[in-house]
């Protein structure tokens, strides 16, 4: 029983052990299978990985070989002794040898002989220094003998077995080397040229500085230091304007600085201070300079010392003023001469007119006529000399008034006809009857030209004819073209001479002067006068056959009747008995001439022999008209007029007519400026005097204002004044009076500023005073100031003084107007 149980247990154990073992084996087998599978997979991956790696290695090798072969750079390998192991295609090309010729050769065989020592020591150094990589530039000789530069990067390589060799990548840098050499050469050239120009600049006495945008000095050149007495970098860092500029030029310079910032150049003259404080004039040429981005970073100023030139300018200015003064003196002399000669002549002419009004027989009348005409001719001749100077000065006045040309010619004809001597020379006159009886031009000038030409013809014609021919060439309803001819049968002149006779002081030839005398001015004056009248005087002539002087003028056809035809009876009474005229004249003859006429016309008058007497009489009597000579002893006409105008007298605005022998426009202008109403040139005819009296005595009543509102004088800017003051005449009066109170003092202040050259004060004063003028209706003075204001900085003291002289005169000339206006306003307010 026990045995069976044991066997059963044994069997059971064996069975269970077997199953356990089977189960373990099954698990193990599975594990084994899986491991096997994994292994196989790994193996497979490994194979493909190897394949890929191998392929990429091959590709990479291929790639590098291609790169090396196709590289633009020379690639080669040498051993530690310098023998070539490898060289790529480009290297072979560059060297010009075959691959076989290079491989195995030593590097020194390709080095130019001159470089051998240098390159050998370089090679040895690199080899022994164990430098891993290095850059080196050297020359190589190709097979054909050409030498080229290469720049080479060399790597020192030690392989696993300890063998040293070098791999190098080299590039042909021949071009670059050439450029470098060229650049180096250019740099040297540039330096040379810089030194050269610096030398030139320093020797040119041009002081150069560089400043930044706020004017601080960056660099100073020697010549500038020398110019101002500084040394070295003493000025660097200082502000140029503060340190160097003379104060009165600050504004000028700040304008220039602004220009510079805008990138503009400029040339200007200023005064600058030397180190010792003395001042010099310099001309500065300033130009901006820029940084890389084109911004203005400062400016260069080139200074040239022009002190000497400025002094010369001042000297010249003084000389010029002297010359101007001399010229003025000459003019004054001529004017005085004219006055001195014309005054007695005036008396002769006037007297002959008076004589004509007496009872004369025919013969006496004829004599008087001749006397009168001769005096007139004398007057004309005297005028010639004056005319030339007037023409030269451009101060001849061309009038435009209606006249009868036919009568003008007739008068001339009569004058010359009387001079016919024993029938040897016959005067003839023709005037086209179709010429309009009233043409407008300057009859006085035409008369003068014709007198000259007729006189000239008379002088050179011993026998035969002298003809004055006036033809109508063409006419429309506005203008007529007239041809004047003066023909003679005299000695004539050659064509060459004809070209010269219109020049001043040129007569046909020198024998003429000795034989015929004369100034030689006549034809020249005639030529100039015709030119002024708008024509051209010419001559056609043949020697021995006489001459023909011709000119043509375009004249307007006037609708107004010529004055000559106004039949003014000298016996006509004018004005009323209440009218009184004051005649102010120092010349007894003239007094007689005028008073005779006034007596004849029954006009009450007083006589004053100088300005002082005139003023005294003015204060005591109420005159309706004053005739005032200009040049008189004790007190002249200008001063007397000013006294009258400035007086508080209710009659301060009485018309004053200047009597002047001067034909200079400037004199007339002065008269008007002094407050005179009009002028009458001596010598004057009774007609002209009558006309003047007529004008002022008969019209004087109209002057009284009849309008409801006060009307400002048309000599002032009445539009502005009306707008400014409206009907408030009291306000206007206040303003006008204030103007008078301040103006003189203001002018003095301005004058002082100019004398002390205080430009800034001057500017302030001008600016302050400017509107004052507009307020009293003399805006032209405001405009005068406005026109000078921008110029002030650049003006020299001399120029400023000149300007002031004119300005002062202009301003003062307006004073009578203002006074008149004050009086007028007062009168109006009273009424």
Partner 1 sequence: MKGIVFTEFLEMVEMKFGYEMVDKIIEESELPSNGIYTSIGTYHHSEIVQLLGNLSTNSKTDAQVLLKAFGEYLFDTFLKAYPQFFSAVDNPFDFLISIDSHIHVEVLKLYPDATLPKFDTQRLEDGSLEMIYQSERKMAALAEGLIEKSIAHYNSTHIITKELINEDGSIVKFTIKQT
Please say whether the beta carbons of 280 and 307 come within 8 A.
yes
CA distances 527 to 249, 258, 409, 616, 773, Å, are 52, 56, 19, 49, 45
Question: Least Å distance between CB 17 and partner 1?
Answer: 5
**Rounded CA separation 364/595 (Å):** 24
Question: Least Å distance between CB 38 and partner 1?
Answer: 16
Q: Which of 252, 262, 256, 253 is nearest to 290 (CA)?
A: 262
Of 658-677, binders to partner 1 (CB under 8 A) are none
Of 6 and 542, the one with the shorter C-beta distance to partner 1 is 6
Q: Where on the phi/psi map is residue 215: left (φ > 0), alpha (ψ -120 to 50), or beta?
A: left
Of 12 and 70, the one with the shorter C-beta distance to partner 1 is 12
Question: Least Å distance between CB 1 and partner 1?
Answer: 13
- 83 phi/psi in degrees, rounded to 5: -90, 135
| Residue 238 CB partners (closer than 8 Å, separation 6+) | 216, 217
Question: Least Å distance between CB 31 and partner 1?
Answer: 11
Of 3 and 363, the one with the shorter C-beta distance to partner 1 is 3
Distance from the Cα of residue 791 to its chain's centroid: 11
Of 18 and 53, the one with the shorter C-beta distance to partner 1 is 18
Of 17 and 108, the one with the shorter C-beta distance to partner 1 is 17
**Rounded CA separation 508/499 (Å):** 9
Of 26 and 255, the one with the shorter C-beta distance to partner 1 is 26
Question: Least Å distance between CB 29 and partner 1?
Answer: 11
| Residue 393 CB partners (closer than 8 Å, separation 6+) | 331
Q: Which of 634, 141, 601 is nearest to 625 (CA)?
A: 601
Question: Least Å distance between CB 8 and partner 1?
Answer: 10
Question: Least Å distance between CB 13 and partner 1?
Answer: 5
Of 42 and 204, the one with the shorter C-beta distance to partner 1 is 42
Q: Is the peptide bond before 683 cis (omega within 30 degrees of 0)?
A: yes
Q: Which of 706, 631, 643 is nearest to 675 (CA)?
A: 643
Total number of residues shown for the chain: 831
Question: Least Å distance between CB 14 and partner 1?
Answer: 9
Of 27 and 328, the one with the shorter C-beta distance to partner 1 is 27
**Rounded CA separation 420/371 (Å):** 15
Q: Which of 568, 565, 555 is nearest to 400 (CA)?
A: 555
In 357-442, which residue ranges form alpha helices assigned H by DSSP?
Answer: 362-393, 405-417
Question: Least Å distance between CB 10 and partner 1?
Answer: 6
**Rounded CA separation 713/776 (Å):** 11
Please say whether the beta carbons of 661 and 637 come within 8 A.
no
For residue 454 the two structure tokens come to 């007729």
Question: Least Å distance between CB 3 and partner 1?
Answer: 8
Question: Least Å distance between CB 44 and partner 1?
Answer: 24
Distance from the Cα of residue 528 to its chain's centroid: 32
Q: Tokens 């009293």 correspond to what residue?
A: 776
For residue 127 the two structure tokens come to 């080899």
Q: Is 34 in the site for partner 1 (CB under 8 A)?
A: no
| Residue 700 CB partners (closer than 8 Å, separation 6+) | 624, 625, 655
Of 17 and 705, the one with the shorter C-beta distance to partner 1 is 17
**Rounded CA separation 631/537 (Å):** 38
Distance from the Cα of residue 10 to its chain's centroid: 143
Of 14 and 311, the one with the shorter C-beta distance to partner 1 is 14
Question: Least Å distance between CB 24 and partner 1?
Answer: 5
Question: Least Å distance between CB 4 and partner 1?
Answer: 12
- Distance from the first to the final alpha carbon of the chain: 183
Of 29 and 568, the one with the shorter C-beta distance to partner 1 is 29
Question: Least Å distance between CB 6 and partner 1?
Answer: 5
DSSP three-state, residue 531? helix
Of 7 and 561, the one with the shorter C-beta distance to partner 1 is 7
For residue 69 the two structure tokens come to 């072969």
Number of residues that bind partner 1 (CB under 8 A): 13
Binding mask 177-216 for partner 1 (x = CB under 8 A): ----------------------------------------
Q: Tokens 């011993």 correspond to what residue?
A: 462
Binding mask 447-476 for partner 1 (x = CB under 8 A): ------------------------------
Of 21 and 324, the one with the shorter C-beta distance to partner 1 is 21
Q: Which of 273, 202, 286, 287 is nearest to 241 (CA)?
A: 273
Of 1-30, binders to partner 1 (CB under 8 A) are 6-7, 9-10, 13, 16-18, 20-21, 24-25, 28
Of 14 and 730, the one with the shorter C-beta distance to partner 1 is 14
Binding site for partner 1 (CB under 8 A): 6-7, 9-10, 13, 16-18, 20-21, 24-25, 28
């Amino acid at each position: 029983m026990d045995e069976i149980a044991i066997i059963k247990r044994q069997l059971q154990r064996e069975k269970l052990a077997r199953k356990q073992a089977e189960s373990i084996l099954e698990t193990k087998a599975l594990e084994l299978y899986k491991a096997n599978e994994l292994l196989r997979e790994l193996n497979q991956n490994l194979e493909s990985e190897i394949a890929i790696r191998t392929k990429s290695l091959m590709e990479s090798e291929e790639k590098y070989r291609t790169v090396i072969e196709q590289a633009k750079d020379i690639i080669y390998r040498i051993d530690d002794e310098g023998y070539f192991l490898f060289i790529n295609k480009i290297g072979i090309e560059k060297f010009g040898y075959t691959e076989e010729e290079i491989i195995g050769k030593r590097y020194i065989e390709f080095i130019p002989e001159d470089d051998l020592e240098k390159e050998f020591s370089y090679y040895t150094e690199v080899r022994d220094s164990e430098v891993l990589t290095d850059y080196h530039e050297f020359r190589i000789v190709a097979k054909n003998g050409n030498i080229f530069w290469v720049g080479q990067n060399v790597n020192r390589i030690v392989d696993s077995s300890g063998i040293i060799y070098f791999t190098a990548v080299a590039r042909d840098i021949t071009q670059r080397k050439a450029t470098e050499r060229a650049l180096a050469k250019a740099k040297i050239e540039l330096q040379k040229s810089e030194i050269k120009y610096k030398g030139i600049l320093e020797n040119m006495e041009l002081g150069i500085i560089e400043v930044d945008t706020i004017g601080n000095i960056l660099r100073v050149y020697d010549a500038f230091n020398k110019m101002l007495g500084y040394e070295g970098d003493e000025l660097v860092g200082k502000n140029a304007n503060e340190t160097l500029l003379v104060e009165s030029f600050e504004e000028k310079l700040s304008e220039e600085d602004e220009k510079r910032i805008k990138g503009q150049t400029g040339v200007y003259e200023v005064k600058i201070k030397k180190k010792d404080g003395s001042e010099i004039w310099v001309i500065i040429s300033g130009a901006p300079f820029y940084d890389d981005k084109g911004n203005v970073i400062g400016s260069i100023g080139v200074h040239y010392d022009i002190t000497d030139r400025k002094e010369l300018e001042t000297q010249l200015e003084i000389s010029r003023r002297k010359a101007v003064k001399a010229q003025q003196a000459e003019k004054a002399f001529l004017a005085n001469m004219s006055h001195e000669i014309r005054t007695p002549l005036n008396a002769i002419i006037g007297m002959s007119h008076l004589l004509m009004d007496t009872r004369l027989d025919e013969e006496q009348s004829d004599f008087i006529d001749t006397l009168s005409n001769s005096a007139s001719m004398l007057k004309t001749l005297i005028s010639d000399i004056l005319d030339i100077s007037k023409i030269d000065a451009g101060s001849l006045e061309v009038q435009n008034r209606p006249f009868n040309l036919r009568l003008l010619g007739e008068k001339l004809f009569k004058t010359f006809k009387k001079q016919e001597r024993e029938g040897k020379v016959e005067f003839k006159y023709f005037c086209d009857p179709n010429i309009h009886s009233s043409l407008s031009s300057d009859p006085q000038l035409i008369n003068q030209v014709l007198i000259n030409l007729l006189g000239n013809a008379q002088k050179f014609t011993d026998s035969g004819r002298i003809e004055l021919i006036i033809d109508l060439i063409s006419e429309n309803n506005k203008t007529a073209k007239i041809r004047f001819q003066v023909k003679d049968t005299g000695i004539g002149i050659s064509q060459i001479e004809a070209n010269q006779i219109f020049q001043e002081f040129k007569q046909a030839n020198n024998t003429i002067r000795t034989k015929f005398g004369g100034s030689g001015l006549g034809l020249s004056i005639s030529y100039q006068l015709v030119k002024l009248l708008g024509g051209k005087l010419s001559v056609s002539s043949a020697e021995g056959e006489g001459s023909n002087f011709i000119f043509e003028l375009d004249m307007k056809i006037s609708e107004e009747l010529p004055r000559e035809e106004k039949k003014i009876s000298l016996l006509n009474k004018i004005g009323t008995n209440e009218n009184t005229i004051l005649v102010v004249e120092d010349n007894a003859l003239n007094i007689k001439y005028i008073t005779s006429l006034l007596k004849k016309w029954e006009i009450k008058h007083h006589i004053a022999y100088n300005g002082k007497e005139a003023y005294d009489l003015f204060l005591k009597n109420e005159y309706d008209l004053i005739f005032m000579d200009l040049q008189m002893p004790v007190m002249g006409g200008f001063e007397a007029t000013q006294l009258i105008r400035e007086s508080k007298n209710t009659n301060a605005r009485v018309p004053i007519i200047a009597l002047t022998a001067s034909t200079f426009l400037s004199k007339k202008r002065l008269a008007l400026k002094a407050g005179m109403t009009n002028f009458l040139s001596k010598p004057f005819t009774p007609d002209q005097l009558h006309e003047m009296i007529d004008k002022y005595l008969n019209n004087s009543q109209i002057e009284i204002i009849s309008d409801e509102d006060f009307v400002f004088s048309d000599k002032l800017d009445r539009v502005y004044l009306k707008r400014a003051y409206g009907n408030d005449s009291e306000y206007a009066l206040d303003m006008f009076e204030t103007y008078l109170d301040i103006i003189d003092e203001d002018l003095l202040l301005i004058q002082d500023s100019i004398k002390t050259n205080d430009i800034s004060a001057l500017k302030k004063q001008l600016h302050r005073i400017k509107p004052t003028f507009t307020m009293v209706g003399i805006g032209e003075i405001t405009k005068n100031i406005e026109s000078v204001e921008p110029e002030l900085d650049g003006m020299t003291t001399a120029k400023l003084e000149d300007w002031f002289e004119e300005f002062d005169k202009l301003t003062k000339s307006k004073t009578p107007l203002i006074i008149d206006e004050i009086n007028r306003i007062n009168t109006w307010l009273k009424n």
